[in-house]
Amino acid sequence: VESLNSKFDYSFGPQQHNFFYSSNFEGKFRGGKQEKPNEVFEIHFTENYFNRFIDSESKTIDKFLKQIDKQEISNCLSPHHMPITAQMNLILSQINQCQRKGVLKRLYLESKILELFMLQIEQFESIQLTPTSEKLKKEDVEKIYYAKKLLEQNISEPYSLLELAHKVGLNDFKLKKGFKILFGTTVFGYLHEIRMQQSKRMLLEENKPVKEVAAYCGYQYVQHFTTAFKNKFGITPGKLAHS
């Protein structure tokens, strides 16, 4: 993606995000020809709005603001694009499907956008704490992203680690290690996260019964799902559904 009046091009892969500053942004991006249909989701902060976070006691934000002040070449939050997590995807879905009107819509969208920004900062800081010296081959990265997609498409009856590795053409060691490098979590840690985020959405937005949600998320016993949900969100699914 190329920003008009900017010297820089930004190339994103599937399910990637970043946060960057452009002093000459005119409100349009020009994208090159794409091999496959794709969607781009943009959120724009004005400089005045972003300045609210000055003196926020966040080293990450302070460093980013100093880069802007010094007009450094790369004004990106992260030197490498970060993966969009299950929690981020849920928020993006909620933003796209918002039915509120007027000031209620504005308040809702602003709260979700700030939540996204918080998750970006949190993810960046987590990656900084676990640097990796090993680089992955491009073909292996594509296979690991495919494994992530398969996890998302089969949360009711997920593949075993060996089955998933076989499906994408990697051995289980490479898949485990590469998944951790790319997404900062284990294969089944990510599966658990998307199950929890999906179950929350089904309870809140679709009013599905707890038993149906538990089965959809691959839990044979409702009590096991209830325990996992409460550990994640601090409330039982039954109470959330009736709140």
Give strand pairing partners of 20.
76
Task: Let me know whether 92 and 142 are in one domain.
Answer: no
Task: Let me know whether 118 and 7 are in one domain.
Answer: yes
- Taking the C-alpha atoms of residue 125 and residue 180, their distance in angstroms, rounded to an integer, is 15
Task: Let me know whether 111 and 177 are in one domain.
Answer: no
Task: Let me know whether 6 and 96 are in one domain.
Answer: yes
Say how many C-beta atoms besides its own lie within 10 A of residue 147's C-beta: 24
Say what the pLDDT of residue 53 is.
81
The last residue of one of the domains, among 89, 107, 129, is 129
Provide the domain limits for residue 15: 2-129
Helix or strand (DSSP H, E) at 78: none
Token pair 């091009």: residue = 9
Q: Read off the DSSP letter of residue 71.
A: T
Domain count, the chain: 2
Say what the pLDDT of residue 134 is.
60
Task: Let me know whether 188 and 227 are in one domain.
Answer: yes
Task: Let me know whether 82 and 177 are in one domain.
Answer: no
Q: Read off the DSSP letter of residue 57.
A: S
Residue-level pLDDT, tens digit, the chain, 243 residues: 444 445 556 677 778 899 888 776 665 666 667 677 778 888 888 888 888 887 777 888 888 888 777 765 557 888 778 888 888 988 998 899 899 999 999 999 999 999 999 999 988 887 776 555 467 888 898 899 899 999 999 999 999 999 999 999 999 999 999 998 888 789 999 999 999 999 999 998 888 999 999 999 999 999 999 999 999 999 999 988 776
The last residue of one of the domains, among 102, 129, 156, is 129
Task: Let me know whether 78 and 170 are in one domain.
Answer: no
- Taking the C-alpha atoms of residue 237 and residue 214, their distance in angstroms, rounded to an integer, is 9
Say what the pLDDT of residue 1 is.
41
* 17 φ, ψ (degrees, to nearest 5): -145, 165
Task: Let me know whether 123 and 235 are in one domain.
Answer: no
The last residue of one of the domains, among 81, 96, 129, is 129
Task: Let me know whether 20 and 110 are in one domain.
Answer: yes
Task: Let me know whether 48 and 152 are in one domain.
Answer: no
Task: Let me know whether 52 and 154 are in one domain.
Answer: no
Helix or strand (DSSP H, E) at 237: helix 237-241
Say what the pLDDT of residue 29 is.
61
The contacts of residue 159 (CB under 8 Å, 6+ apart) are: 150, 151, 167
Task: Let me know whether 142 and 173 are in one domain.
Answer: yes
Identify the CATH number of the domain in which residue 161 sits: 1.10.10.60
